[in-house]
Structure 1
Amino acid sequence: MDFSNFNDTLLSFLQSSPTPFHATASMRSALLSHGFVELLEEDTWVIEEGGKYFVTRNESSLIAFTTPQLTMSQSGWRMIGAHTDSPCLKLKPNAQVDRFGYHQLGVEVYGGVLLHTWLDRDLSIAGRITLKTKAGDIVSRLVDFKEPIAVVPNLAIHLNRQANEGFSVNPQEEILPILCGAENEFDLHELLTSQLKKQYSELQVDSILDFELSLYDTQPAALVGLHKEYICSARLDNLLSCFVGLQALLESDQQRPSLLVCTDHEEIGSLSACGANGPFLDDVLRRLTPNPEQYVQAMQRSMLVSADNAHALHPNYAHKHDKNHAPAINKGAVIKVNANQRYATNSETASVYRDIAAEENYEVQCFVVRSDMACGSTIGPITSGEIGVPTIDIGLPTFGMHSIRELAGSRDAYGLYKVLARFTKRDKLITR
């Protein structure tokens, strides 16, 4: 895939993936179109040599893999990991709020949201609805309103003269989106039923039982900057890595078993049935290598590249960085290092990545958080700790992480795709 086509496809993927459910559906569609076979966890699996497969859990996490040979204990895996979720505002179960002449939505903050960035944005709603059909079946369907139907207006500076000196947003009282005026009749379940009928004309809805819905910014993803060198979009953390990993897997030559794992709930700790701190990946790998001794052999001959966005040096806040570890946008992916194992990188996994990047003539940067600041973490240490696979944490330099709209480099994304595609074809890792 060339540079232009890559970024066009990336923008489409970002636009079609407003929630983890939709991101997983987008990846599922791409895999099916490239000949991958969908597996169901409740079925008995028949895995063939030279096969291409994928499986989802909770409709929000996905594992895809190739099996050029079935002796994984001898070859190991070339793994790429990312996460499908992003910080956002999620609707509460009893979300309808009517006050002071407006119909609003009660929301809960998911993850480390930069709350003030959600003010004065054109918002829509997407997610999963579980319902009962008139035939008596309980089914789930994804919905996406797409149109801007909600907004959280800011408070005028005349009523908050200290606004430019810094202010906090109360998530219980001050972040509730407005849908319409009270002069209009409004019932949330009726709205959701109407949307289901609009998207699924054949669906006979008896009643809505529950939902998992999020707000999102309707402004499209775009290439911006004087020379279009930046990607500006919601949910770059971490759909950017999901897309790069997916394209790398599709590019693999199937000489070595390769695997992509994209899990939900990273932004809140990954502890769930479909999160990195849950059993999903281990369940899949043990079905492919059920012999305990061979499983350990396979893991020790494998390597995981955990891809999650990295903090680029912000020119307006340079003091927030260690000056010797201050990544720049469009200067290459970032190897993340932390002595306290907030990242899983070690000297060996970093060396393998540096060597592969050099083969692609692709620059490599390094990030270490300032010693007087707390360090974030990723799925890398969690996955490595769960299955024992050697791991490196990398990421694409990003501005505004956890904002409703983030900024990364278009050349970085394409370069990482080329490096990870080569990684899936790598024969030897570390010689013992």
Structure 2
Amino acid sequence: MTPTAPHPDTAAHVDDFAAFIQASPSSYHAAAETRRRLVEAGFTALDEREEWPSGPGRFVIVRDGAVVAWVVPEGATPLTPFRALGAHTDSPGFKLKPKPTTGSNGWLQAGVEIYGGPLLNSWLDRELELAGRLVLRDGSEHLTRTGPFLRIPQLAIHLDRDANTGLTLDRQRHTAPVFGVGELAQADLLAVLARAADVDVDEVAGYDVLTADTAAPARFGLDDALFAAGRMDNLSSVHAGLAALLTVGSTGDTVSVLAAFDHEELGSESRSGASGPLLSDVLGRVQNGLGAEADEQARAFAASWCLSSDAGHSVHPNYPEKHDPVNRPIAGGGPLLKINANQRYATDAHGAALWRRACEQAGVAYQEFVSNNTVPCGSTIGPLTATRLGIRTVDVGVPLLSMHSARELAHVDDLVALSAAIGAFFAGA
């Protein structure tokens, strides 16, 4: 489809997205920032351990590194269907191991384990931070982040003359970041994290801490149309869904839902992942609050839709042979409709028609994405959600270059267009 003109609010939207990324160095921070913004906008934060209000309202919960928010419209009944936007808060990188303070030859290093499938070379020679959560002996949870603190140093070319023709990184020996010099006895990474969270290190009983690139997001290129940042897979969809949900009014024919799961990069098999019970728990409790019986719950689900929004691939100018020869989405051409014959994406003909209606209603273009037959296709939460809940699901997302790099690349118009199309989806397109 022909690309549309840039949206007049592009600058404000992209600036807000940049601020969201900087506030969200880990899945736990992303969930907390989403909840903070929603509560600031009038949503009520709920506790899963307590009874929830019934009837209309705007609500949000956080479960570990996942967040679910929803708007129950006035006049909702047991048969009111759902319009859900599914995304994920986690990104590939490195996670801190137990006994994290290590070292070699006078250097102080962090013991890390590879999380998901990062492009390892892209993490070299960048100032990284540690970010995540600390859990104290009393069970309380505290977010922590260090700011620039670590670096994975690459070997100088003088010591590896073949580095530009065949760089090979050992996942254990070559990925340990440095954070100083000195004696191990004089350094304690856990103490650094505790100070950053303003808690007593002796009270820390557990932690989930990962690395994040600290370079600020940036617009650049012709007309400042390109946007580079870390964690756009998949904060691009979380932010687009958040921005769209904030436009949903108090009346309507559907319950609008934003579900941003954790652990998608690992396969989603956790209590806060898409294969877990989180979304079914929330939707079930919403339906119970509306007085739905089992038959009515099934009928509401049968009329419901889920947009599985996750970043996809723009055609790469330096590797065009890696893409389908006919379907070649380009950055700036609009968000993607992701299709796969083997159900790696959940899109079918009905889903394609729904996405077309949403994009037409929003006044934005979209592009089909399908993999080259010789390149294995990745997957998303879409097939998982469709399988678990039986809700019709369609896979979409913004096109990126350098997916799973420490710093990915998008077009600003696609970021705005995705949010606009999600808004139309919530509005009933």
Counterparts of 1:70 and 1:278, CA distance in 2:
30
- Contact 2:146 2:193 (C-alpha < 8 Å) held by counterparts: no
User: Superposition pairs for residues 7-406 of structure 1, below 5 Å?
Assistant: 7-49=14-56, 51-58=57-64, 60-69=65-74, 71=76, 73-132=78-137, 137-146=138-147, 148-182=148-182, 185-197=186-198, 206-254=202-250, 255=252, 256-290=254-288, 291-406=293-408
Could you tell which deviates more after superposition, 2-11 or 25-34? 2-11
Residue by residue over 1:175-212, the C-alpha shift from the partner in whole angstroms, topping out at 9 and shown as x without a partner, is 10111111582122332332232xxxxx5664221211
Partner of 1:85, secondary structure, is coil
Aligned partner of 2:4 in structure 1 is none
Runs of 5+ unmatched residues, structure 1: 198-202, 428-432
Counterparts of 1:214 and 1:11, CA distance in 2:
20
Counterparts of 1:326 and 1:252, CA distance in 2:
33
Q: Which amino acid aligns with 2:320?
A: A
Calculate the TM-score normalised by the size of structure 2. Answer: 0.94
Give, in angstroms, the shift of residue 99 of structure 1: 1.7
Distance verdict in 2 for CA 1:72–1:7, change over 3 Å: farther
Sequence identity (%): 38
Partner of 1:55, secondary structure, is strand
Counterparts of 2:382 and 2:236, CA distance in 1:
16
Counterparts of 2:363 and 2:242, CA distance in 1:
21
Counterparts of 1:329 and 1:72, CA distance in 2:
41
Counterparts of 2:351 and 2:195, CA distance in 1:
51
Q: Which amino acid aligns with 1:68?
A: P
Aligned partner of 1:200 in structure 2 is none
Counterparts of 1:11 and 1:189, CA distance in 2:
29
Give, in angstroms, the shift of residue 2 of structure 1: 2.4
Q: Which amino acid aligns with 2:276?
A: G
Q: Which amino acid aligns with 1:56?
A: V
Counterparts of 2:190 and 2:30, CA distance in 1:
25
Counterparts of 1:183 and 1:193, CA distance in 2:
20
Counterparts of 1:72 and 1:94, CA distance in 2:
53
Runs of 5+ unmatched residues, structure 2: 1-7
- Contact 1:93 1:210 (C-alpha < 8 Å) held by counterparts: no
> What root-mean-square deviation, in Å, do the aligned CA atoms of Structure 1 and Structure 2 show?
1.5
Counterparts of 2:201 and 2:182, CA distance in 1:
27
Partner of 2:140, secondary structure, is strand
Give, in angstroms, the shift of residue 257 of structure 1: 1.5
Counterparts of 1:307 and 1:83, CA distance in 2:
9
Give, in angstroms, the shift of residue 262 of structure 1: 0.3
Could you tell which deviates more after superposition, 316-325 or 184-193? 184-193
Q: Which amino acid aligns with 1:296?
A: A
- Contact 2:94 2:115 (C-alpha < 8 Å) held by counterparts: yes
Calculate the TM-score normalised by the size of structure 1. Answer: 0.93
Could you tell which deviates more after superposition, 74-83 or 324-333? 74-83
